[in-house]
Amino acid sequence: MSFTPELQLLLRACIAVLVLGLAAKIVGTILFRVTSRFSYLHQLVENLSQPLVYLLPLLGLQATWLGAPEGIPFMRGIQHLTSLATIAVITWIGIRAVQSVQQTIIAHNPVDVADNLKARQIQTQTRLLVRTMSFFVLLFGIASMLTTFPAVRQVGTGLMASAGLAGLAVGFAAKPVLGNIIAGLQIAITQPIRIDDVVIVENEWGRVEEITGTYVVIRIWDDRRLVVPLQYFIEQPFQNWTRHNASITGSVFFWADYTIPLKPLREEMDRLLDQVPELWDGRVKVLQVTDTTDKVMQLRVLASSGDSGSNWDLRCYLREHLIGFISREYPECLPQLRATLESPAGGEVTATPPEQSPGA
């Protein structure tokens, strides 16, 4: 029984795909078990196992098409499609290999620990650099695929020969994209922000939830998301509350009458702080008179915490309980509105009982 050249070629192609596909799966399974003790290699094998299942059969097909006899119709088109698919899979492998580096580094530097400054630095650099590298791998893969089309190569040569204004226009059009890519590299190196940093951007308090290749996602305290371009953090001022460490000192302000005794108030503040060791880290506790008016004086309480979230709760706690203490123990020392009345006879001057006001 004889087969036509086309049928023989198709049979060889099917055998090559089946054999090489099975071989890729067997080798991937063996490597997956062998590398189980080595985290990076294990992650790399896990990420590359799927694209390799496609790459080996494609390489087998390419070798089969090269040995095809002359005269088979559409062979050049089939070879071209196989080349494009091979380049696409190789690009996929490159992106997966870069991502495996990111996954391994992040796994070895978790941020869900008490002192996570170093881990956040490493994660921020890794995420930004990996996204940039993935972009260039994808760009190289697309460029390689385009070079397989003779017409595109000729168009590219013609554009380069007559570049001038066209190149300038393309540069202006790509400025936002390129600007964000360059900003991403600057942020990865200098790290003005990191993953999980507490920042104030556009008068909004939140945490850096995600840093992509073009924008940063800030999770606002009420669970809204503020999406900011990367260039913003290079060109605009913003507050970073966890630049060097997560510790922070917060302030609480009161207005009180001049007659309030400060010693009992300081003792009450000490007692309140000792009751919340989970909020107060023991570094700073201060009560001072920071301002005066013709009616009241301003008291400022400073207290420190290990992170901004705890400090917010601590400030609310101190504000609530110190106001309660003053109202309970020294109600006459709350801000007062004073007035004097003179009798119609003009001889006696009496002071009205102090009337409390919401603030002066």
Q: What is the pLDDT of residues 206-265, one digit of tens each?
A: 999 988 878 899 999 888 999 998 888 888 999 888 877 778 888 999 899 999 999 999
Q: 225 with 310, same domain?
A: no
Q: 234 with 265, same domain?
A: no
Q: How far is CA 170 from CA 145, 149, 151, 179, 231, in A?
A: 21, 22, 21, 14, 20
Q: 274 with 308, same domain?
A: yes
Q: 210 with 91, same domain?
A: no
Using CA atoms, how far apart are residues 288 and 211, in angstroms rounded to an integer? 41
- Above 50 in pLDDT, residue 162? no
Domain residue limits at 34: 5-110+120-148
Confidence of residue 157 (pLDDT cuts 50, 70, 90): very low
Query: With the CA atoms of 272, 197, 199 and 286 taken in that order, what torsion angle do they form, in degrees rounded to the nearest 10?
Result: 20
pLDDT, tens digit, 9 for 90 and up, residues 299-320:
999 999 988 888 889 999 999 9
Mean pLDDT (the chain, rounded): 80
Using CA atoms, how far apart are residues 230 and 214, in angstroms rounded to an integer? 6
CATH of the domain at 295: 3.30.70.100
Q: 36 with 84, same domain?
A: yes
Q: Whose CA is closest to 133, among 97, 105, 103, 87?
A: 97
Nearest-5° Cα angle at 213, 209 to 215: 55
Q: 252 with 216, same domain?
A: no
Q: How many domains, in total, are found in the chain?
A: 3
Q: 24 with 96, same domain?
A: yes
Residue 347, classified by CB atoms within 10 Å of its CB into exposed (0-12), middle (13-18) or buried (19+), is exposed
The DSSP code for 71 is T
pLDDT at 324: 94
